[in-house]
Structure formats: C-alpha cells, structure tokens
Amino acid sequence: MHAATLLLALVATVVAVPSPIAPATGSNDLDSRALYSSLTSRGRGPVTLKLSRQEPSATVSRRDLLQNELDHAARKYLPFLSAEKRAAAENHLAKRTVPLTNWARDLQYNVAIEIGTPRQTFNVVCDTGSPDLWVMAASCQSEACSDMTTFDPSASSSYANVNQTLYIGYGSGNVSGQYGKDIVALDSSTYFPQEFGLGIDVSVPNFSKRNTQGILGLSWPVAGHPDPFWYNLFQDGNFDENVFGIYLKRSSLSASSNSSDANGGEITIGGTDSAVYTGDFNTIPLQNVNETFWNIPLDSVSINGAAISMNGSKSMIDSGTSLIYTSQSNADEFYSHINGSTIQDNAFVFPCNSTHAASFTFGGVEYPVFPYDMTPLVNGDLCYGAVQVTSLPFDTQWVFGDAFMKNVYTKFVMNPPAVALAKLADDANIKVNNARCGRPLTR
C-alpha cells in the first residue's frame, strides 16, 4: 500500500467497486482483484516521478488562448446551473465576440496516462472540477481530433464495451460518444480497470489548442456518470491514506512561450509528497458531504490591505481552470481596491503600475498569491487580472483555479471529505524575477 506520484504535463453516482473487465477474445483474464493485489504487493512508500510542462502550439496566439480560457470556464459549469442562470450565461457567451490575449505558460496542467493492452498514451487535463475520464476516440472525425493521439479500442485486447452513451455539454459545444472499460495505468505500479468515455464527436471550440486528448476528472461522483478513477482506487483499501495531493509548479518568466518543461508539478495518489511542502496542513471540511465539487468555505479576501468578508462563501478548488472566477458583484468589489481598474473586452484590467497584493483566507489561515499569478498577461501598460467573472453552479461564489493553487500544496481527502492546504517549500515555490505584471503580449 503506497502513494504513487504521477507524471504531469503543463499547458485546468452510486458507489461501486470496479468489476472485472470482460476481456477480448484470446486475451488474458484481467480480474480487478488480481490487479489490486499486484498493486498492493509493491511496497508502502510513496513513489515520486518528475512532471513535464507542455506548451500550446507556436501557431496559437495568446489572444486566442485567453479567449478560449474565459469561454471554457463559462461553458464548463453550464450543465450544473439553474435554467435561469444557464440562459443568462449562454446569452453572455454569445455576446463575447472580441478575442482577448492569453499566455502560453501555466495555461493548463496535464497528466500522462496509459489505456489498454498494449498501452496507448494520452495527455489529459488534471481536473478536480469534473468527474469523467474521457479521451478522443480513433473514430473521431472532429476538427479538434485532427493530428491528435486517439484511442483505438480494436488495438486493445483488454477493452470491453459499456452500454452507456457519453455526452458532456459545454453550452456552445459538447463531447459525445460512448463509454468503454479498460485498464488505465498511471505509472508502472498503479493500474486498474476503469470505465471511461471515448469522444467520437468533440465539438468544443478551440479544444485542440489546449494540446490535450481528454480529461481526467477528479471531482466527486455524479449520478449518471462512472465513478471517478480516484474514487474507485480507494474503495478496496489499497493505500495507506485515501487522499491525493497536487502541486502545480509555476513556470519561469524566462522560459520560451512555447517551450516544454520536464518539471511542471505532480499529483500524488494515496498520500502527499512532503518534499514540496512544509509545516502542517490546514484541513477545511467540505461544506456538504454530498458535494459534487471540492467546495470549501472562504472566510475573506484581502486586496491591497482592504479586507472583504466572504462569510464562508462556497468556493470550489478546481485544477482544470486557469484563473480565479467569481460573481460580478464580488469582482466589482475586489477591483474597486485596485487603482485604475476597468473592464476591457469583457475582462477586468488595470494599470500594471498599480499595486495588486491579494490574499485569500480559508480555515482561518491567510494565503497570499504571488503578484505574477494575479496578473497573467500584459498588453502595453495594462495588466489583465486573474480574477474574472463567470456564472457558477448551485450556490458556488468562487472558483479557485491554477492561479491560486500554484501558491499552495493541496490535499484532497476522501473521508471525511475535506480539502487541506499547506505552505509550499521554498525550493518548490518558484519566484520569477519580474513580477510587475504577466507575460508580454505577442500578437
């Protein structure tokens, strides 16, 4: 029983124990209990693997990438909105026609997984804000699948069909196809039978620009969807701890805008990696034990010394989102404390020479955010802020994506359900030399 730390790449129901996969003709019997036995016989200590950072194509402008990120966030939570809020959100999306500038680095964190026998490798989004594991299918003819690695079920001797249709709506786009079941491997010692989606029609706009072939959902189970992989892994007591930890490493300002970095962060399954954090964890219980998302109460927000009470506002920790999102009223109050703030191209901007010292308090502990992370890009003398507006599901008031998570080590706890935050070790908390604002604009 051990923790297995997975490779990452950078660019955000009813409980059931996994049953044996029905093997293809002539294949070996892939019994789930035998697999778990193999897993648990390999030792109890954590296994830490280096991560890699993978950037978008050099042909993708930062303007398109930021527009894609803002639209993606707006669509991501649409299926969970009330009819009234969904209509308003879709209307807002339709109005957002002016493209914004975005940055290449720290855009998205991916994990490399392998599926099938023999194994086929995919880079998928490490996403604590959604439940499904899905990858592009070989039969996908969508533009998003062009020149991408796709999963071929006929090439895997361990693949089995599942009589269930895949459909994930994103407002103006969707992913549809079917579910299947196969062996999913996270490293040489962590592999298991898992239901996952095969995206046959991937019509999410600009998805291919994210250099990814799917999503690894790490949220809680959702009715009508297969249980998430982490949830299945923890059912049989295979690990010392039913937790997983995430460290998102900040990129260097001096790095090329389209470079690759072999050390982009890590996810640890079944434990945490004490080498990248220091001190004790601040454990914050989820606000509802039946949560779909990793929602915890936010005590307060501080911007340039002004404290704004949030009175325990429900806040989602979402590694599949690049920025920090909130309601219009919260954003208005936040930016009222930054001199010169205004809205440009449907996004909050402010003069780069304005002070923008921000922190967020959870569980009675204040967590400062490095200024570089609060200003993800610059256009002349204007900086685009990391706090932006979108419609959020249920009564969620904030979504804390990578811009916040890069400043802490985050542990996700199964039982009792909680999120725990720890201070990053000095060596893990990479500080860039110029934090005046974000990355220079390249058109």
Residue 352 sits at φ, ψ, to 5 deg, of: -65, -20
Angle at 149 between CA 143 and CA 155, to 5 degrees: 120
Q: State CA 300 to chain mean position distance.
A: 23
Q: What amino acid occupies position 173?
A: G
Residue located via tokens 């693997």: 49
| Element housing 34 (H / E) | helix 32-40
Measured CA to CA, the distance from residue 46 to residue 17 in angstroms comes to: 24
> What are the tokens at 105?
């680095």
Catalytic residues: 127, 318
DSSP 145-174: GTTS--B-GGG-TT-EEEEEEEEEE-SS-E
CB 161 within 8 A of CB 353: no
Measured CA to CA, the distance from residue 39 to residue 339 in angstroms comes to: 55
Measured CA to CA, the distance from residue 170 to residue 178 in angstroms comes to: 17
Measured CA to CA, the distance from residue 362 to residue 31 in angstroms comes to: 43
